[in-house]
Structures are given as structure tokens and as C-alpha cells.
Amino acid sequence: MIHIVFNESEIDLMKQVIALDETLTGDVVQIKDDFAVGPLMNLETEEGWQARVEWWRGLLQGSPYKESLAGSFDDRLTVKDLKDNLDVNADEQVWIWMGQNQHDVCGYYWLASQLKDYQGRIMTLYLNNLPFINEKGQIFYPSWLHEIQPKEFLKAKKLARPITTSEFEVDPDEWKKVCDENATVRILEGGKKIAGKEETFYDQEIVKNITNEWQKASRVLSNTLHRMKIKTGDVFIMWRMKALANSGKIEVMGEVNKGWKEFDVKLAGAKQSEASIQEETTV
């Protein structure tokens, strides 16, 4: 049994789940790319794949991750390893775990579209619109796997089912439509329906967390990620914050290219309050 997850935090989570239930014993593998953002055109070709890698490298400039996210892994190799394991061991199964979010669903589409030859051995567990119990004993509907307590997965495992013949026909076609549209941002509209959006889709979320006073860009980033309802990654949000600065919609003070903690931001044209000016002059 090989468990597939789409977020780094879920690797340890699944290991905790396995420790609670030995019938789930198996390797935990992460698909690392975030296919909910960025170019998808012709990913099956080397040229298309490299275009995506270069896009990520551009976003990673000045980030804490440098170029590690775009240069230290290749999810295509992960798929090759999965196929090799399935070929060698006829009893092997792949369990794909998904939360109700565009990141997981896009990852599922990309992965499942390459595993059609192993029908009957590829299981899916899509935890959408399902109630779970949180740490306070309250019922809630999680969007991400990491929001679920490990013990709650023991009930969720009963939902495992093989990807059907129909899904192996329909889902790759749906994914091809998404790739051909090639929007910069993709969101989940319900079920497994993915809708393309402009690269500016999250800009308003960022602006809502910027004030008339100077703030560390890293603080704005943290507040945005915490408060936004439709989530995306920190690298993408910071890229858009820099784009807002380049377009003059927000002002910047500091060295933007040196790192996320090296510059401050505020709303464009905002006047600094007398209190903050006095505070600066007395320091």
C-alpha cells in the first residue's frame, strides 16, 4: 500500500494514522508541486514542463526557499517510481488522499491521468462535504487533511474505493480542459470542478491586510494566509504582493529582492499618522 498526499505536513500525519492502524501500513509519498497555480500547457512535453519549472524559479527569487522547490524534485520521477512499484508487485495498491481544496484536486487530476493502466489498484479517498470531530469535540467540515485528527482517519479509511472506469475516462479529459485553458490560478467550485481565474485573483485578499501604516511584508503575508478563505501558498501570495508594488498599488520600503523580511509595505498614497511619525523621530 502506497499512500499519496499533496502537502508536506500530511506525511507525518499519515505516519501517525498508520501507527494507529497497522492495516494501513505502507509508504507515504508526496506530490510536491502545486498544480492549482501556474502554467500547465503541454506538461506532457519536456518543453512544457521546463516552462513550469522556470515560472516557479521566477517566483522563488528572494524567498526563503530560494530555488529548492523548483529544482530539488521532479514529480514525474515520483510517478515513475509508483509505476515501477505497481509493475513489480501485482498486489500493490495506491491510495490517493484528498481534502476538499483545489490544491489536492488538481494534484489528483495530474496524477490519476497517468495511472489508467492500473485500474482497480488505484484507490481514492476524497473527504469532501464530510463531517469530522475536532479536538474540542465539535463537528466541522474540513477543507484540508491536516485539519483532521489522526484517529478520525480510522473512520475515513472506509471511504476508500477504486477509481472507476468512467472516472479514468472523464477525469483526464477534464484535466486536459484545465491545462488547455492555462489560467494562472485555479479554484475548486464544488465536487471536482476546477475553474480558472486571473493571476490577480488573490490581490484583494492581500490589500485587505495592508494598512495606511508601514508593516513588515512578512506580517502581511502571514495575516493574509491566515484570514483568506480560499487558500494558496505563501510563494504565490508574496509574488502577487511584489506585483502590487510594481504596479503602484502599494508602497514599499526596504530591499524587496533580499528577502521577505527585508521590506515593509503600506497602501499607496496613504499618509503616515502623526503618532507613528512621532514614534520614529523619538527612536
List the domains of the chain with CATH numbers: 2-179 (3.40.1360.10), 203-273 (1.10.10)
What pLDDT sits at residue 257? 85
Q: Say if residues 73 and 102 touch (Cβ distance below 8 Å).
A: no
Residue 71 has pLDDT above 90, yes or no: no
- The three-state secondary structure class of 63 is coil
Long-range contacts of 264-271 (CB under 8 A, 24+ apart): 264/214, 264/215, 264/216, 264/217, 265/210, 265/214, 265/215, 265/217, 265/220, 265/241, 266/210, 266/211, 266/212, 266/213, 266/214, 266/215, 267/207, 267/210, 267/211, 267/212, 270/211, 270/212, 270/213, 271/212
Residue 282 has pLDDT above 50, yes or no: no
What pLDDT sits at residue 72? 63
Say how far apart CA 65 and CA 75 lie, in whole Å. Answer: 18
Residue 271 has pLDDT above 80, yes or no: no
Q: Is pTM beyond 0.75 here?
A: yes
| Average pLDDT estimate for 204-219 | 96
What pLDDT sits at residue 281? 37
Say how far apart CA 113 and CA 77 lie, in whole Å. Answer: 15
Residue 223 has pLDDT above 90, yes or no: yes
Q: What angle in degrees, to the nearest 10, is found between the helix axes of 234-246 and 217-227?
A: 120
Residue 283 pLDDT class (50, 70, 90 cuts): very low
What pLDDT sits at residue 278? 46
Say how far apart CA 179 and CA 80 lie, in whole Å. Answer: 21
Residue 255 has pLDDT above 70, yes or no: yes
End-to-end Cα, the chain, rounded Å: 61
Q: Say if residues 20 and 156 touch (Cβ distance below 8 Å).
A: no
Residue 222 has pLDDT above 50, yes or no: yes
| Average pLDDT estimate for 30-59 | 95
What pLDDT sits at residue 267? 95
Single-letter amino acid, residue 68: S
pLDDT digits (tens, 9 = 90+) for 106-125: 999 999 999 999 999 999 99
Residue 66 pLDDT class (50, 70, 90 cuts): low
Q: Which alpha helices (H) appear in the chain, and where do they start and end?
A: 9-20, 46-60, 68-71, 75-88, 102-112, 153-156, 165-181, 203-207, 217-227, 234-246, 274-282
